[in-house]
Structure 1
Amino acid sequence: MRHTIEYWIKRCAFYFGGDQPFVSWPERLRSCAGAFVGLVLVFTVAKLLGDLSGIDEWLMASLGASALLVFALPGSPMAQPWAVIAGNTLSALIGISAAILVREPLLAMPLAASFSILGMFILRCLHPPAAAVALIAVLGHVVNYRYALFPVLIDSVLLVIAGAIYSNLTGKPYPNRPN
């Protein structure tokens, strides 16, 4: 059977984002502006808290991925406060434990990520960026459980608060409310 060029373009487009839903430009800009404002606020407050407490670690690198979910996909179950806060904090605790208990990073990293996923399933707080939090703890040789409290827990709470304020001010309900 002979196919047209249009058929092949449509068929191949799927593999280059053709399955992504259309998002209007105003919504794209709303999401990007929210991520910018939210992260500026979180980073500023976290840096201030770090300076006040004498702690150098005031930022978690995966916060950008969490911001994508909170600001661009506020209706997603993986962007809800429990998922963001508990998923990130649990994964930090597991990553720190793996860094302490398993000296070989090539084994500690997959253990940290996989156990954090299992823990998130058990606690019903799936948040994809949180698996990266576990890896970051191992890669950064984090061996102090304080890291799970600050910056991970505090930054996650600040992000959720910024997301709730921004989303609701711009007409997007966040967090989801039970029916």
Structure 2
Amino acid sequence: MKYSLSDLIRHYAFYLGGDQPQVSWAERLRSVCGAFLGLAFVFMTAKFLGERSGIDEWLMASLGASALLVFALPGSPMAQPWAVIAGNTLSALIGITSLHLIGEPLLAMPVAAALSIMGMFILRCLHPPAAAVALIVVLGGIGHYRYAFFPVMVDSILLILAGAAYSNLTGKPYPNKPPK
């Protein structure tokens, strides 16, 4: 059977982002501006809090991925407050514990990521960037449990607050309301 060039392009376009939904430029700009403003708010606030408390670690590296969900996909179950806050905090705790119990990063990293996914399933707080938090903790050799609460939990809460304010001010309801 002979296929035209346009048939082949249409068929293979799926593998090059053809499965992504169409998003208006207004929505793209709303999401990008929200992520910028939200992350700037989180970074400045967390840096201030870190300096006031004498803590050097005030930033969680996977926050950019969390911001994508909160600002670009605010309706996603994985962008809801419980998922972001509990998923990130739980994963940090699991990563720290894995580092303490296993020690060898090449084994501790997959254990930490896998157990954080299991924990998120159990607590119903699936948040994909949180699995990266577990890896970052092990890779960074972060062994103190305080890190799970500051910066991870605090940054997550600040991001949720920024996301809720921005989304609601720009006409996107966030967080999702539970069904009646």
What TM-score do the two structures reach when normalised by structure 1? Answer: 0.99
The alignment of Structure 1 onto Structure 2 pairs a total of residues equal to: 179
Residue 79 (structure 1) shift: 0.1
**Where do residues 157-172 of structure 1 align in structure 2 (5 Å cutoff)?**
157-172=157-172
Q: Which residue of 1 aligns with 2:122?
A: 122
Tell me the secondary structure at the aligned position of residue 100 of structure 1. Answer: helix
Residue 33 (structure 1) shift: 0.1
Residue 99, structure 1, aligned to residue 99, structure 2 = yes
Output the CA distance in 2 between the equivalents of 1:4 and 1:143: 58
Q: Which residue of 1 aligns with 2:57?
A: 57
1:30 partner letter: R
Q: Which residue of 2 aligns with 1:68?
A: 68
2:71 partner letter: F
Output the CA distance in 2 between the equivalents of 1:32 and 1:174: 16
Residue 17, structure 1, aligned to residue 17, structure 2 = yes
Identity among equivalent positions (%) equals: 74
Output the CA distance in 2 between the equivalents of 1:83 and 1:133: 13
* Unaligned 5+ runs, structure 2: none
1:85 partner letter: I
1:153 partner letter: M
Q: Which residue of 2 aligns with 1:155?
A: 155
Residue 103 (structure 1) shift: 1.4
2:126 partner letter: L
Output the CA distance in 2 between the equivalents of 1:65 and 1:99: 23
Q: Which residue of 2 aligns with 1:3?
A: 3
2:130 partner letter: A
Residue 137 (structure 1) shift: 0.5
Output the CA distance in 1 between the equivalents of 2:49 and 2:14: 45
1:15 partner letter: Y
Q: Which residue of 2 aligns with 1:45?
A: 45
